[in-house]
Structure 1
Amino acid sequence: MQMLIGGKFVDSSDGTKIEVVNPATGKIVDTVPAGTLEDLDRAISFAVEGQKEWNAVPLHEKMRILEKYACLIEENVEEISKVMCEEGGKPIEQCKTEVYANAAIFRIYCAAAYTFYGKTLPYNGEARAQGDVVMTVHEPLGVFACIVPFNYPCELAAHKLAPMLVTGNSVVLLPSSKTPRSAIMIVDLLYKAGVPANAVCCLTGRGSLIGAAVAADPRVAAVSFTGSTGVGISLAETCAKFLRPAFLELGGNDPLIIFDDADYEKALNETVAGRIGNAGQTCCASKRFIVQKGIFDKFAKDLTARLSAVKVGDPADPCVEMGPCVREADAREVERQIQLTIAQGGELLLGGKRDGAFVAPTVIKTSKDMDIARDMECFGPVWPLIPFETIDEAIEIANNTIFGLSSGVITSDMQVAMKVANRIESGSCIIGGSGNYRLAHQPFGGYKYSGVGREGAVSTLEEMTQQKTIAFKGILND
């Protein structure tokens, strides 16, 4: 498969390629171009011109085009899902859900665009403005660099592409080199729907090369990145040198607090569901399970029984609940984190084994001072169980981390739930469920080292644009 620059499928300027591997089998299923700095330069040049062309398209026509794109996505769900499953190892039914989410996100942003109003400032609000009429309008920032991670290549691309395009920006899309092909398919469908060829491109390649370079290019107006905290900080430092915004959705070590009085079955279900999807490789998936001591032992026993029955295997099988990690190297890192936690005194209750890219569902009883209970983000199917006694202790454990993306609390006492939601340091708190929760309208993002900015239809359009004030000086004076 080739990348898309200027509306055409092309190879890299030097002909080098990246192998795309099926993590479930370890076999190479395809190759994509390893984009070069020369390719990046061409893509940005096209995007500069494409932004002018796309911004000149009337809003109602943009919406017609993007609605057509949403329909095309739904017509190609099976094909895109198969590619995502093959290159990323995500179970096929979860892939289908993600592809449908892409279409839904575009439709929601199209609807939001129609109510994205400018403002008229207070008339005669100051003596020096007597008779003036002052209004504001929103204008696009320009060329966006959009860097998407491996774990949700279709849905997270939509969370960036949709608001960027409805506001008249152009986009250089940089997918993960692990899961690049679905991103290429998405951009091809945008062309087929009628988006100008120069307005969007998809450049495949090594993030260490083109990801770093794109943030330093003076023609790029802003960078939107979802991925690791370390890379996000590096991008922010580069952007800061040019006074350009960097929107960052980064790591997390999200807590789920379960009290003794919780609906027990619901708590078990949320604990499993909040982590098992995509083999635990979800930024807002619950990663620390803080369970009150009154039910801790029973909960640990029942959780291990529940996870022992999870069907792990070929993600192309519709009956499989959990597939592999995205690459064997990623699985080895999860295995290392498991072994470190055990070495620090953690009690292994289930799993702990790795077979290639597959990591067995793993449950570990931990203490609140271990790395995995604080700042070590484990991106895999691992359930660290941490006991607590009081609400204050639960909140202290939850907040004792550099991260603050999402969180959850399950209790039958809504006063307790609201106290947790009010005091927990995270971008969202789900009462009655895990923090593995995201809606297209929701202002999604985190506190602390979990990022800067918000993605969601209620707030993102503001971030994708800049405001201009237009004043009619003295127009109503006699």
Structure 2
Amino acid sequence: MGKVFEPDDVAGRIFDGTWREAGGGPLEVTEPATGARLAVVGNATAADVRTAVAAASAAQPAWAERPAGERAAVLRRAALVLEDGAGEVARWLIREGGATRAKAEFEIRSVLDELWTAASLPTGPHGVLLPRDDGARSEGRRLPVGVVGVISPWNFPLVLSLRAVAPALALGNAVVLKPDPRTAVSGGVVPAWIFQEAGLPPGLLHVLPGGPEAGAALTADPGTDMIAFTGSTAVGREVGATAGRLLKRVSLELGGNNALIVLEDADVEAASSAGAFGSFLHQGQVCMTTGRHIVVASVAEEYVERLVRRARALRVGDPATGDVALGPVIDAGQLRRIDSLVRASVAAGAEVRCGGTHEGLFYRPTVLTGVTREMPVFREEIFGPVAPVIVVADEEEALAVARDSEHGLVAAVHTGSAERGRALADRLPTGIVHVNGQTVNDNAHVPFGGRGASGNGTRFGAGHSWDAFTEWQWLTVRETAPVYPF
């Protein structure tokens, strides 16, 4: 397999089946670890979005009419393309997004699961036969939504693009994808390359890297029938407000401030392993990151000691040049935000047990104790490698502290009794709960989604994608028309 792209093919360009000039000119993609320029892509404007949506609308009906097996075959070929080019794709995830090699390889495996799962959708049942009514044959059937606008983030750029793009295409929709400009290659150029190589007909996938202007235009365009947004809660509220005003379907996968509860009967060594993984994977830049370690007092100091030991042992550095556990955070703005939240909380009385420092964009894994509910690191999603520890008296206080958040994505509970953990899960207002697991956990086969400020409860994954990317239509058919009493 050749390169994912040749620089001259994408320089200053956006994708509509071929690469064409972007209205906003060039957009540079840089490497967080070094500041080096990696690529130049196109910067999409609102006019580019309008053109793409119109073309997608024109192409979609013929695609929906294609035999299910043909659509499935495109998704299968896309998976094979990615498998063949996995090495180069991993290098882009590492250099462009600051991923470690392990994270990049995990993300590629996740995308392959998404593609293979999406390939099974077109040939599945797409309706139900209902009881006959007044002599009419009656059925409920699933039809494509139409044109799906996908707005994807920078932290897991490939999987969080294709988690929506793949099932949407498989179920007969056209897609306009706006990846985050910071990871325009991993989140945009790579998906374009995958589907171009797989033989997706032109006009069905458009890739338009760009900033807020492009995202707002995609959300508001009357030609988009649905918006699938993954990103911050603040931007998600704006997307949801626009979609609601336009009575447009919207899927919002937003932030999290996720709790890991450690009860007094937990295996503290295993719990500290889960806590370290949950807080420090990909520099804490994951919506499912463990944002609050809620620990019962009788095991709190043991837990902190083990968590600190794990944090201090993690190597931080450039993932493109060394075997490291943490790479750089995505940019200087993110670094400032992480550091300001830590400093403000320390000023309010929190204690830095390890970390709290950085060199360039490389922020050390940080453990904070003495954290209270009033502190910024308790209230806000940090999106950095910071583990705030809150000590509680017992299970009931742990539950009350865990529930004290506007977010509701995921929680984890560590306990020596699985049944006790299950009973506690019944009382946690989150879309996901893991008993004796860690918070960063997802795959292509589960109903993934959050509540409250973490999203609007829609679900991705396997058969749940039917609910996201198709509409029910009730159809009745009579051989002859009856005569009515009017």
Contact preservation (8 Å) 2:50, 2:217: no
Q: Tell me which residue corresponds to 1:11.
A: 21
Q: Tell me which residue corresponds to 2:287.
A: 283
Structure 1 residues 372 and 440: CA distance shift in structure 2, 3 A: farther
- When normalised by structure 2's length, the TM-score is 0.93
1:460 aligns with one of 455, 458, 465: 465
Counterpart of 2:120 in 1: which secondary structure?
helix
Structure 1 residues 24 and 122: CA distance shift in structure 2, 3 A: same
Counterpart of 1:121 in 2: which secondary structure?
strand
Separation (CA, whole Å) in 2 of partners of 1:227 and 1:49: 29
Matched, 1:406 2:410: yes
Structure 1 residues 315 and 347: CA distance shift in structure 2, 3 A: same
Q: Tell me which residue corresponds to 2:201.
A: 196
Separation (CA, whole Å) in 1 of partners of 2:235 and 2:223: 21
For these two proteins, the number of residue pairs brought into alignment is 470
1:229-378 matches, cutoff 5 A = 229-317=233-321, 319-372=323-376, 374-378=378-382
1:111 aligns with one of 105, 116, 120: 120
1:437 aligns with one of 441, 454, 462: 441
Separation (CA, whole Å) in 2 of partners of 1:116 and 1:46: 29
1:251-287 CA-to-partner distances (Å, cap 9, x unmatched) read 1100000112112221121111112211110001111
Q: Tell me which residue corresponds to 2:97.
A: 88
What is the Cα deviation at residue 117 of structure 1? 3.1
Separation (CA, whole Å) in 2 of partners of 1:275 and 1:316: 22
1:61 aligns with one of 54, 63, 70: 70
What is the Cα deviation at residue 317 of structure 1? 4.0
Matched, 1:32 2:34: no
What is the Cα deviation at residue 116 of structure 1? 3.6
Contact preservation (8 Å) 1:143, 1:171: yes
Q: Tell me which residue corresponds to 1:47.
A: 56
Q: Tell me which residue corresponds to 1:185.
A: 190
Separation (CA, whole Å) in 2 of partners of 1:382 and 1:11: 41
Segment of structure 1 superposing worse, 70-79 or 358-367: 358-367
Segment of structure 1 superposing worse, 36-45 or 330-339: 36-45
What is the Cα deviation at residue 221 of structure 1? 0.5
What is the Cα deviation at residue 46 of structure 1? 1.6
Separation (CA, whole Å) in 1 of partners of 2:480 and 2:44: 54
Separation (CA, whole Å) in 1 of partners of 2:69 and 2:385: 45
1:322-374 CA-to-partner distances (Å, cap 9, x unmatched) read 10101122111100111011111111111101221111100001333233454
1:75 aligns with one of 78, 84, 103: 84
2:31 aligns with one of 12, 16, 22: 22
Counterpart of 1:314 in 2: which secondary structure?
coil
Separation (CA, whole Å) in 2 of partners of 1:5 and 1:31: 14
Separation (CA, whole Å) in 1 of partners of 2:396 and 2:477: 56
- When normalised by structure 1's length, the TM-score is 0.95
Counterpart of 1:288 in 2: which secondary structure?
strand
Counterpart of 1:429 in 2: which secondary structure?
strand
Segment of structure 1 superposing worse, 399-408 or 452-461: 452-461
Q: Tell me which residue corresponds to 1:126.
A: none
Q: Output the amino acid matched with 2:104.
A: C
Contact preservation (8 Å) 2:412, 2:435: yes
Counterpart of 1:178 in 2: which secondary structure?
helix
1:187-207 CA-to-partner distances (Å, cap 9, x unmatched) read 12201211111000110111x
What is the Cα deviation at residue 74 of structure 1? 0.6
Separation (CA, whole Å) in 2 of partners of 1:110 and 1:32: 29
Q: CA-atom RMSD, angstroms?
A: 1.7
What is the Cα deviation at residue 27 of structure 1? 2.2
Contact preservation (8 Å) 1:4, 1:187: no
Matched, 1:389 2:399: no
1:33-63 CA-to-partner distances (Å, cap 9, x unmatched) read 2111221122112211221232121110111
Separation (CA, whole Å) in 2 of partners of 1:279 and 1:196: 38
Contact preservation (8 Å) 1:312, 1:320: yes
Separation (CA, whole Å) in 2 of partners of 1:8 and 1:64: 21
Counterpart of 2:240 in 1: which secondary structure?
helix
Segment of structure 1 superposing worse, 226-235 or 46-55: 46-55
Contact preservation (8 Å) 1:133, 1:476: no
Contact preservation (8 Å) 2:328, 2:362: yes
What is the Cα deviation at residue 218 of structure 1? 0.5
Counterpart of 1:451 in 2: which secondary structure?
coil
Counterpart of 2:206 in 1: which secondary structure?
strand
What is the Cα deviation at residue 458 of structure 1? 3.0
Separation (CA, whole Å) in 2 of partners of 1:345 and 1:136: 59
Task: List runs of 5+ in structure 1 lacking aligned partners.
Answer: 124-128
What is the Cα deviation at residue 474 of structure 1? 7.3
What is the Cα deviation at residue 185 of structure 1? 1.8
Q: Output the amino acid matched with 1:8.
A: T
1:208-227 matches, cutoff 5 A = 208-227=212-231
Task: List runs of 5+ in structure 2 lacking aligned partners.
Answer: 1-6
- Paired-residue identity, %: 30
Counterpart of 1:180 in 2: which secondary structure?
helix
Counterpart of 2:462 in 1: which secondary structure?
coil
2:129 aligns with one of 106, 120, 135: 120
Q: Output the amino acid matched with 1:114.
A: T
Contact preservation (8 Å) 1:341, 1:371: yes
Separation (CA, whole Å) in 2 of partners of 1:427 and 1:458: 17
1:75-131 CA-to-partner distances (Å, cap 9, x unmatched) read 0111111111111111122112211221211111222443343011134xxxxx333
Counterpart of 2:396 in 1: which secondary structure?
helix
Separation (CA, whole Å) in 2 of partners of 1:371 and 1:463: 37
